[in-house]
Amino acid sequence: MTSTTTRQAHTAAVDPRADAVVVAAQAMVRAGGPVPNAELARLAAVSERTLRRAFTELIGVGPRAFGQAVRTGTARDLLRSGSLVTDALVAAGFGSVRAFYETAAGTMGMPPSAYAAGAPGERLGWTAVETPVGTVLGAASERGLCAVRIGAALGPLLDQVRAEFPRAELVADHDRLADVARALAALAAGHPAPELPLDVRGTAFQARVWQALTRIPAGETRTYSEVAQDIGEPTAVRAVAGACARNRLALVVPCHRVVRTDGGLGGYRWGLAVKRELLEAEHALPDRARVVG
């Protein structure tokens, strides 16, 4: 038994409140953000007061603060900062290592310890294509596309992917990814493209936002507020904007189709000029060509 497992077992044995914290944490991960304390207490079979005290004393934050950490992706940020996995999980509000693995692995696309370690041993193939908006680089795992970058030159884009997955094997795989290159070229020019398999690596909340973005037809836009309403979180406008900013699958997850309420472009990771050009290209398409997927 590892020292981490020993500490986990010891904690659970001496403090039964940990079980209630884990149940509540899992509920918020599934929801992608905060859940009313009354509902959490019902699920954990404890009183609201007991649950609040358990979170505060065992985790260091209350249930709502933990839910906000889930919504804003704090757990992932902590892992990428280089903290020990166990420490990061506790700091992010998870009651145990086991609970985090059970609830978060599916939304991150790989076990959290592997992400924290830079995806050791994972093979990522890449290809690139020149487009009207610049060089577009796509990197894919066995599960699907995990990174799409837009830039002026290939070298910096490869460096970005290496920084994201520093211990993965990044290899050119143009033949196998030829269909990916064609699809990315089409999307960059404002044209429809076949649906691509995706390896989405984000929090549950981010995944819900990104899925909503894929439902916006080419040639149309939505406001951050409209996207928040679409996912059933009308007050989470800032969190939606944050999820758009953290989108690692440019073009395929079309965050460029999200604009401000006043009609302004808002932000875009790859530059407002690129965002404007993409939208203009899509708006110029005949209606019959504006299809999704």
User: Strands 145-151 and 134-140, how do they pair?
Assistant: antiparallel
pLDDT in tens, 46-103: 999 999 888 777 666 678 877 776 666 655 554 455 444 455 555 555 545 555 545 5
Mean pLDDT of the chain: 79
Nearest to 29 by CA among 85, 86, 87, 112: 112
110 has pLDDT over 80:
no
Q: Which residues contact 11 (CB under 8 A, 6 or more apart)?
A: 18, 96
Nearest to 21 by CA among 74, 95, 71: 95
7 has pLDDT over 50:
no
The larger pLDDT score, comparing residue 115 to residue 259, is at: 259
Q: What percent of the chain clears pLDDT 70, i.e. is strictly above it?
A: 72
pLDDT at 5: 37
Q: Which of 255, 258, 259, 281 is flagged as catalytic?
A: 255
pLDDT at 59: 61
Confidence grade of residue 191 (pLDDT, cut at 50, 70, 90): very high
Query: In the predicted model, what is the mean pLDDT of residues 216-243?
Result: 92
Residue 255 appears among annotated catalytic residues: yes
The larger pLDDT score, comparing residue 127 to residue 34, is at: 127
Rank 31-40, 89-98, 106-115 by mean pLDDT and report only the highest: 31-40
Q: All domains of the chain, ordered by start, with CATH?
A: 3-116 (1.10.10), 122-293 (1.10.10.10)
Type of residue numbered 110: M
Q: Which residues contact 102 (CB under 8 A, 6 or more apart)?
A: 26
291 has pLDDT over 50:
no
Query: In the predicted model, what is the mean pLDDT of residues 138-163?
Result: 93
pLDDT at 94: 55
Query: In the predicted model, what is the mean pLDDT of residues 156-179?
Result: 92
Q: What percent of the chain clears pLDDT 90, i.e. is strictly above it?
A: 40
218 has pLDDT over 60:
yes
Cβ neighbour number for residue 288 with a 10 Å cutoff: 6
One DSSP character per residue, 50-118 reads HHHHHIIIIISS-HHHHHHHHHHTHHHHHHHTT--HHHHHHHHT-S-HHHHHHHHHHHHSS-HHHHHTT
